Structure 1
Amino acid sequence: MTHLVSELTQLERIPTQIYESADAACLTVADAITDLIQQRNAAGKATVLGLATGSTPVRLYRELIRRHQQEGLSFANVITFNLDEYYGLAGDHPESYRKFMQDQLFDHVDLKPENTYVPDGLVDRDAVFQSCKDYEAAIADAGGIDIQILGIGRTGHIGFNEPGSGPETLTRLVTLDNLTRRDAARDFLGEENVPRHAITMGVGTILAAHQLFLLAWGEGKASIMAQTVEGKQTETIPATFLQQHNNCTFCIDQAAASQLTRQCHPWLVGRIEWTEETTRKAVLWLAQKTGKSLLKLVDEDYTENGMSDLLVEQGPAYDLNIRLFNVTQHTITGWPGGKPNADDSHRPERATPYPKRSLILSPEPLDDVYCLGGTINRLKQHGNQVTIAYQTSGNLAVPDTEVRRAIELMIELGTDRIGEADLSYATTVETQLNEKGSFGADTSEIRQLKGLIRRSEARSSARTLGIDTESLHFMDLPFYEEGRYRRFIVTQADIAKMCELLETVKPHQIFATGYGHDPLSVPALSFEILSAALEQCAGSEWFKDCNIWLYKGPADEWEAHEIDMAVPLSPDEFENKIQGIYQHQTQRSQSPGRASKKSSNSWDLAREINCGTAEIYDALGLAEYEAIECFKRYSK
């Protein structure tokens, strides 16, 4: 495939197509697969596909299943080879990649079982080398892989080719990177349960495929995408070796593309239209790049950083600086619910009505206090009616050790105070826990108890924030309660529950997250449900007077130019928030979202993010605060 370089893509070393959504990107790849299968079927030849696992390709597989079931696309003459498999897991293990492929694709199309190849995760250690050679030979015997589907890990791995993997590597046993294992921790109910090794196709094996499609969704992949597409080839980021392939295309969504130069700094690669949004982005970027406050930027700073045409259109620098300083200053408010009887012409939130009905949507317990604990406290102190709705129970994130702790407490209390006859629930759950072991799926009783544990933590956290526990709403959306990570499916039942909540609360403002996240993540699905519910409620009177504020989500924050409301926290307010986070005992050892070199737990990472935002505002020349929580206005 010829790589057509334009002015805006001149820094990109791999053809990269950006789509509005993951579904739109998957349609392009599904079309390519469909066309090839139909051509080969007509010629009586086999099609050889290389397949990936994880949440990224799930929507592609769902589209292929749809085409098989509704349009008659036949896979009877298709041979598949999967990229990798965890070493030590049997094919029927709930987290094995063989099981994943059966659930997500194989069992729903007319693929012949003997034509589906997945590395053997149980081969004896002494036989691993030969097994890997046999896998390579099977690919060669099939005529090589026609189309290889890839995802990308946050370390830049493709397959399980971790940093240090070169372009000559073939199928082999590898040791998994700590970050890779941390990302898989929730699937395995704890990092300690994640296998330390895997069998993977090598980078060289991948590069031998005739055509490659790499898929990536969500802002969590934005940084590694930019490094892969625009950086030099290096073993530190194995995905950069895809630059060597002459028929490789990256199909990514807007969020995953957000750090490509043409998206985040387009003025560096070509002429652009200087809208209010791009002007704000560019000027704040310039201040951070030069290490100057906004009011200290001079004409030379603009001209030396690709922004001379902005000076011509909107300059001089002094005028630009003053205007953007004011815009940034007006994002700061100590009244996230609006200040009554005040001039709100330069405030993020309107003064009336007062008090407001404020609805806080938290995809899982902890997201609320972690991301906007200080804001919640402020809303309540100012007399607003605050409702916190936990969209899911979060029970999939509770380690089994916490369940055993609860069971032991119930049994001890029951034995001493209640009597043996009332211990049936505790003993039943204990038996089920013993039978399932470390890797088995939780029973409904186990998941129920894990959900109750997280409810207790949420109530304790709410009390710390000054919120009455009667203001908490536990939605337990069906998509989560009936699913598992990477296997969630939203239905009308989820949307109906959200509509019911909205019509009950009739909020004047909603705080939500999930926008720009991986489409199959809990926050993204929760936001998808909210969006669908808002569409159905658009005719309601409250809808016309409702503002929606987006918070970024655990372990991340909006860029300075994206912030529409910044809520500063005093040292005491921030420490109160940290205490609220600390109440979530089952999540203490987990740093949600992104990894941090500085922080190993949730409260330290929250401190790093919120204090870091305050430092950014200070560096821009604004007031110096202890910490800041940030929000972006969402257009309904």
Structure 2
Amino acid sequence: MNESLSENQQRERIPTEIYATADLAARSLADHIAALIRSRDAEGRPTVLGLATGSTPVRLYRQLIRLHREEHLSFKNVITFNLDEYYGLSRSHSESYWRFMQEQLFTHIDIRSGNIHLPDGTVSRGEVFSSCRKYEEQIVAAGGLDLQVLGIGRTGHIGFNEPGSTRDSRTRLVTLDQLTRRDAARDFLGEANVPRHAITMGVGTILSAKEIVLLAWGTGKAEVIARAVEDPANDSLPASFLQGHPRIRFLIDESAASLLTRRLHPWLVGPVEWTPSLTRHAVVWLAQKVGKPVLKLLDEDYSEHGMADLLTEKGPAYGLNIRIFNELQHTITGWPGGKPDADDAHRPERASPFPKRVVVLSPEPSHDVIGLGGTLRRLVEQGHDVSVIYLTSGNLAVPDEEAAMATDLVADVARTLDAASAPVDTFAVNVRMQLDRKTAVESDSLQVRKLKGLIRRGEARASMFACGLPVSRIRFLDLPFYEAGRYRQFSPGNADLTPLINLLRELTPNQIFATGRQDDPSAVTAVCFELIQEALRQLASDDWMASCRLWLYRGVDTPWNAADIDMAVPFSPRELTQKIQGIYQHKSQRSQTAFKSGHHELWQQAEHHNRTLAETFDRLGFANYEAIEAFQRWIP
């Protein structure tokens, strides 16, 4: 439910409504748009909408389609202008925004084709300026934008207005930021295939809209949302120019709101109820703010940083410090499956049963080893019955170049064998021919995707071997939603739930490790987590569920706050090296441009992630570990 303006929003320069889920936020905006359309229809006037593309507005478009089908909302008098389009892509290209809008909205409603407008990414370079000027004139001729829908990129871009865009910029050709291109790399099967330019409405064009609503989901957007809402406007963060617009709102989910002051440090903007969780967050924040270990915090530190009421209620500092230090210390364990025959009163996991049946659910191959490769090895070495389940094949993430090399290898091997290998040779040759003939517009054929899935399987087996897990303990579910879909456009259903439920009933785990709870709802990780959540809901009455604990792990893009951690598993330099070797086996996922662009590869990111968390615990006053993996207990 959205929140009204209040004291705890005093640092926010843009009205921001926080919803429990992205779907609730999208439904709210869809209802608002429906009311606007009906009001304009009653006045005999068209409604002019500015629309966005990407994964963020998909849920909004689904709600608009629902309103059209169930409540007979008509779009016949709606005129639309899209924010942007990749330059150089034909409208038939699988990643063109024209095609996206047709698939996600326009073909499902009764909008007139002549009322649809998108920038033309196919005009010659010499015609770009006049084409952009014409686009601006069309917006003015339609009466201006009544409502502009926006998403936001991790660079803070709105439309494709990258950092450095000016407040008064208009529709134009722009060069895409490297981070923007990296974020789109999976959609294009590699960063090298992502267009370097796009045509976008300018910031000034967007600000001329009568009303603006920006949508954002997932922890990946939390940092840029906090900066856009709370920092002063500046040209390094284009979304911040939205501050001061007379009718601007941000509609975000809880995950995207997680770094707003009212969520992260609520004691700085108003009175709070000092719950145990909030108290721990406040003390950890204070220790990091003043650069002291928890046990060295003084009463003055609390008072000078607006936390005198915490001392009054929970202090003095000496006793409070010891209590929080002990809470944090009790999260640290070298026994992630529980230590047998030990007092587990202050351990994050139970001593019994031992050994435990452990299930690691990995959305795609590599998520598992990146998030808990060290812990996984520790569980195996300590004698637990560990199974790693890959929910999807991961074939969408394999670049064509990797598949081409695999076909050549398969064909060479087949030709060294006897005539019985002819079908293998034929398969390899056929796939290679399909890859060679494939255009940028085409999606992978079933044979190509099969080969790419086999590549991921081989990498996963090699990775788990490096982590000490027998190949017999690995399973590949290849859930149908993934095989039938594309990134950001998945439609999971009962066909995906059934094999997951059956597998969990077969394995009856004592521990489940999963990821994706706070990710963008359209991401593979989040789609898989929703399926896991629903499967566990349906399994809730099974006897084994009563003794099953659920642990959440994260990838390298969402670092842990030490106060959020319920189990921290430290490991040695040797174990960190072994984890890196496990990640390194996922060769198809290694960025081919990493060193050229200064980016880190997956194994480097994971190493940095785990070392940084260990350094955080060190600064808080704990042992100086080499690396730490962290987990949060999840109670559905």
Common fold by TM > 0.5: yes
Partner of 1:356: 356
User: Identity over aligned residues, as a percent?
Assistant: 57
Verify the 8 A CA contact 1:486 1:520 in the aligned structure 2. yes
Alpha-carbon distance in 1 for matches of 2:555, 2:492: 20
Alpha-carbon distance in 1 for matches of 2:5, 2:74: 36
Partner of 1:125: 125
Aligned positions of 1:498-517 closer than 5 A: 498-517=500-519
Partner of 1:469: 471
SS at match of 2:351: coil
- Residue 432 (structure 2) aligned to one of 426, 430, 433: 430
In the TM superposition, what is the alpha-carbon distance from 1:479 to its structure 2 partner?
1.1
In the TM superposition, what is the alpha-carbon distance from 1:439 to its structure 2 partner?
4.6
Partner of 2:603: 603
The letter of the residue matching 1:425 is F
Could you list the per-position Cα deviations for residues 551-575 of structure 1 after superposition, in whole angstroms to 9, with x for gaps in the alignment? 1224333210000000000111111
Say whether 1:78 aligns with 2:90.
Answer: no
Partner of 1:522: 524
Alpha-carbon distance in 2 for matches of 1:261, 1:385: 43
Partner of 2:94: 94
Alpha-carbon distance in 1 for matches of 2:416, 2:355: 49
Q: Could you tell which deviates more after superposition, 155-164 or 547-556?
A: 547-556
**What is the count of residue pairs matched by the alignment?**
631
Say whether 1:193 aligns with 2:193.
Answer: yes
Partner of 1:344: 344
Alpha-carbon distance in 1 for matches of 2:317, 2:226: 30
The letter of the residue matching 1:550 is L
Could you list the per-position Cα deviations for residues 173-212 of structure 1 after superposition, in whole angstroms to 9, with x for gaps in the alignment? 0000000000000000000000000000000000001111
Say whether 1:545 aligns with 2:540.
Answer: no
Partner of 1:387: 387
The letter of the residue matching 1:530 is I
The letter of the residue matching 2:432 is E
Partner of 1:26: 26
Alpha-carbon distance in 2 for matches of 1:331, 1:479: 37
Could you list the per-position Cα deviations for residues 264-306 of structure 1 after superposition, in whole angstroms to 9, with x for gaps in the alignment? 0011111100000100000001001111000000001101111
SS at match of 1:628: strand
The letter of the residue matching 1:95 is E
Verify the 8 A CA contact 1:555 1:591 in the aligned structure 2. no
Verify the 8 A CA contact 1:499 1:533 in the aligned structure 2. yes
Report the RMSD for the aligned CA atoms in angstroms.
Answer: 1.5
TM (norm. structure 2) is 0.98
Alpha-carbon distance in 1 for matches of 2:557, 2:52: 27
Partner of 2:106: 106
The letter of the residue matching 1:353 is P
In the TM superposition, what is the alpha-carbon distance from 1:495 to its structure 2 partner?
1.2
Partner of 1:301: 301
Partner of 2:40: 40
SS at match of 2:9: coil
In the TM superposition, what is the alpha-carbon distance from 1:77 to its structure 2 partner?
1.0
Partner of 2:624: 624
Alpha-carbon distance in 2 for matches of 1:65, 1:193: 32
In the TM superposition, what is the alpha-carbon distance from 1:401 to its structure 2 partner?
0.6
Alpha-carbon distance in 1 for matches of 2:184, 2:83: 17
SS at match of 1:280: helix
Alpha-carbon distance in 2 for matches of 1:598, 1:202: 29
In the TM superposition, what is the alpha-carbon distance from 1:436 to its structure 2 partner?
1.5
Verify the 8 A CA contact 2:286 2:302 in the aligned structure 1. yes
Say whether 1:578 aligns with 2:580.
Answer: yes
Partner of 1:613: 613
Verify the 8 A CA contact 2:371 2:555 in the aligned structure 1. yes
Verify the 8 A CA contact 1:557 1:630 in the aligned structure 2. no
SS at match of 2:332: coil
The letter of the residue matching 2:158 is I
Alpha-carbon distance in 2 for matches of 1:590, 1:115: 42
Could you list the per-position Cα deviations for residues 370-417 of structure 1 after superposition, in whole angstroms to 9, with x for gaps in the alignment? 110010001111111000001111111100011110111122222232
Distance 1:244 1:431, change over 3 A: same
Unaligned runs of 5+ in 1: none
Partner of 1:457: 459
Partner of 1:634: 634
In the TM superposition, what is the alpha-carbon distance from 1:43 to its structure 2 partner?
2.4
The letter of the residue matching 2:548 is C
Alpha-carbon distance in 2 for matches of 1:380, 1:607: 21
In the TM superposition, what is the alpha-carbon distance from 1:110 to its structure 2 partner?
0.6
Verify the 8 A CA contact 1:193 1:439 in the aligned structure 2. no
In the TM superposition, what is the alpha-carbon distance from 1:500 to its structure 2 partner?
1.0
In the TM superposition, what is the alpha-carbon distance from 1:27 to its structure 2 partner?
1.3
Alpha-carbon distance in 1 for matches of 2:578, 2:605: 15
Aligned positions of 1:173-322 closer than 5 A: 173-322=173-322
- 4+ long deviations beyond 4 Å: none
In the TM superposition, what is the alpha-carbon distance from 1:547 to its structure 2 partner?
0.3
Alpha-carbon distance in 2 for matches of 1:356, 1:472: 17
SS at match of 2:417: helix
Verify the 8 A CA contact 2:220 2:558 in the aligned structure 1. no
Say whether 1:494 aligns with 2:496.
Answer: yes
In the TM superposition, what is the alpha-carbon distance from 1:441 to its structure 2 partner?
0.7
Verify the 8 A CA contact 1:551 1:632 in the aligned structure 2. yes
Alpha-carbon distance in 2 for matches of 1:190, 1:437: 14
SS at match of 2:581: helix
In the TM superposition, what is the alpha-carbon distance from 1:599 to its structure 2 partner?
5.1
Could you list the per-position Cα deviations for residues 188-244 of structure 1 after superposition, in whole angstroms to 9, with x for gaps in the alignment? 000000000000000000000111100000000000001000011110000000003
Verify the 8 A CA contact 1:590 1:600 in the aligned structure 2. no
Partner of 1:559: 561
Verify the 8 A CA contact 2:556 2:609 in the aligned structure 1. no
Unaligned runs of 5+ in 2: none
Partner of 2:329: 329
Verify the 8 A CA contact 1:590 1:602 in the aligned structure 2. no
Verify the 8 A CA contact 1:156 1:237 in the aligned structure 2. yes
In the TM superposition, what is the alpha-carbon distance from 1:117 to its structure 2 partner?
0.5
Verify the 8 A CA contact 1:84 1:198 in the aligned structure 2. yes
Verify the 8 A CA contact 1:599 1:605 in the aligned structure 2. no
SS at match of 1:417: coil
The letter of the residue matching 2:371 is C
Alpha-carbon distance in 2 for matches of 1:299, 1:438: 63
